Amino acid sequence: MLPELLPVVLVHGGLYEDMTPGEFWGETGVLAALAATNTPFIAPQRPRKPQSWAEERRWLSESIDEAGFDRVALVGASNGCSAAARVAIDEPHRVARLMLAWPATANDQVLDGLARIIITDEIGEAAADALLRGDTLRGVADAELSALSSPVVVYPSLPENHAHQRHTVMGILAAQPNAFLVGGSPEPPDKQFPEYLDAFITMVTEFARIEHDD
């Protein structure tokens, strides 16, 4: 008998980049491999030029509704972690479990400086400030992470890099004491990711498996 699985929602990375689910999840083999496990899932396109993380949260909620899903296993990737976390915080009834994969580093002077120039040029300084504001994750206060009741899994970038620093992973674990660390790999656009594809898919399907207390 096949295991019963929660629907998985894959939230790709990027912030004011021309990133798509097809590039992040499709071309890297994730979508085909996950489909082969008979796991119900969606991988919707994030807003390309959001004004706020609240806008991202509304988009993600609408995507879950349009798919006809009730409670989901939500997988945020890189800057998609902020969108995923906002849904888990603001609409906890939707999220049975939250995975923060390759969480993007916030409050880095170089990273934020470059992002601020790009975002300000597109939508203005106030919106740039709102999108870059946060504690460990952009758009999220550590106190909000701490209050999350859904299980939280942290899947780090291996090796760490400037955009995905190890201290960000440790900050999430410190802010959410019930979170736990699992596996790790380069994020999907990296040319080394295919070596980790099978392990990542196994991790996601185990993450989505329905237990008796779900």
Whether residue 90 is contained in a domain is answered as yes
CA angle 136, 75, 153 (to 5 degrees): 60
Quick one: residue 152, left, alpha or beta (phi over 0 = left, psi -120 to 50 = alpha)?
beta
CATH of the domain at 19: 3.40.50.1820
Q: Does residue 122 belong to any structural domain of this protein?
A: no
Cβ partners under 8 Å of residue 76, min gap 6: 11, 82, 83, 84, 85, 98, 99, 100, 101, 103
Tokens describing residue 98: 């939250």
* Residue 127 located in a structural domain: no
Q: How many domains does the chain have?
A: 1
Domain of residue 164, residue span: 8-105+141-207
> Does residue 118 lie within any of the structural domains?
no
Q: Is 7 in contact with 40 (CB distance < 8 Å)? A: yes
pLDDT in tens, the chain (214 residues): 456 899 999 999 999 998 999 999 999 999 999 999 999 999 999 999 999 999 999 999 999 999 999 999 999 999 999 999 999 999 999 999 999 999 999 999 999 999 999 999 999 999 999 999 999 999 999 999 999 989 999 999 999 999 999 999 999 999 998 999 999 999 999 999 999 999 999 999 999 998 745 5
- The overall longest dimension of the chain from CA atoms, in Å, is 54
**Helical (H) or strand (E) element with 55:** helix 53-67
Distance set, CA 68 to CA 7, 57, 63, 170 (Å): 10, 17, 9, 35
Q: Is residue 39 part of a domain?
A: yes
